[in-house]
Amino acid sequence: MSELAGTLRQVARGEVLESVPLSARTSVRVGGPAQLWVRPRDPQALVAVLGVLCDAGVPWFSLGGGANTIVGDGGIEGCVLQLGRDFVDESIEEAGDHAVLVLGAGAPIARFISLAREQRGVGVAWAAGIPGTIGGMVTMNAGTNTGSAKDHLDAVEVATPDGLRWLPATELKLSYRHCELPAGAVLTRARCRVRRGNEDEQHEDVRIAKADVDRRRASQPLSLPNSGSVFVNPKGDFAGRLIEQAGLKGARRGGAQISEKHANFIVNLGEARASDVVELIAIARRAVLAMSGIELIPEVRLVGTFQPSLSEDLSPYHFLPVLLARST
């Protein structure tokens, strides 16, 4: 890998490291090392990095901001990509009573809100308090019961070994906590449309956002490392309520615990391993299924090598690094 790392340093024009622990780069603070870790300087450097990985037959995984992701204790074979400082570029396009915001995938979601407000935008209160980056917001179609990324997304720019291109949001099959990028593509920018409101609407949007942030602080275990909501809420119900009803609120395995504050969060009490976290995920799914017949679907991404291996019921939710191929 040392020779490959040297080549990647030349084209990435950013950081390229070997055997990098990923626990510090995920919000739940668990997981083994990345064989290679690359932070390309800008979108063109990312295209070059993907080309090198493609030619070398090395798979990659885009980690983003590290929220909603659990990396296995055995780490990730291949290359882990995180977007660098030049993936936060932004611009504004006029569209009558709307503003079109173009944000880099590496920008925090909070910047989407603040930029929208600078343009007198309304309808963005749902994004207040959601952790992570614009890239994660789009690829997870992040949101709450009052709105989601899908409500604003016009198009995305993606990088592949063949270059950069824009895709309309209609091609992404956006649905609840779901987005489908083309195989082997990394999201680099998002174009979002926000309606401009009058002064009263702007004040109301700020009020709703503050109330939502206050609610999150009161009801979610934000003082402890966690990966965000573990499960997608089933239609007409709440995953946290079902897990609590199954008697699992506060349940522990090793250094991980189903939060005593909100049962759809698993927190790291200080010495948790990925195996502890995924064991609690499996326990919660089985208990809720046995109690209610409802199969909870993980919202978190399970990535890399897990020791021991993932149980059969979690295997379908295991994300593997992508092996690239150039278009012909």
Tell me the Ramachandran region of residue 279: left when phi exceeds 0, alpha when psi lies from -120 to 50, beta otherwise.
alpha
Q: What 3-state DSSP class applies to 46?
A: helix
Here the contacts of 241-244 (C-beta below 8 Å, separation 24 or greater) are: 242/288, 242/291, 242/292, 242/294, 242/296, 243/284, 243/287, 243/288, 243/296
Active site positions, annotated: 177, 229, 299
Burial 133-155 (b: 16+ CB within 10 A, else e): bbbbbbbbbbbeeeebbbbbbbb
> Can you tell me the distance from the alpha carbon of 105 to that of 63, in angstroms, rounded to the nearest whole number?
12
Burial 174-209 (b: 16+ CB within 10 A, else e): beebebebeebbbbbbbbbbbbbbeeeebeebbebb
Which helix H or strand E contains 274, and what residues bound it?
Answer: helix 274-292
Which of 124, 89, 130, 91 minimizes the C-alpha distance to 107?
Answer: 89
CB distance 31 to 70 below 8 Å? yes
The torsion angles phi and psi of 129, rounded to 5 degrees, stand at 85, -5
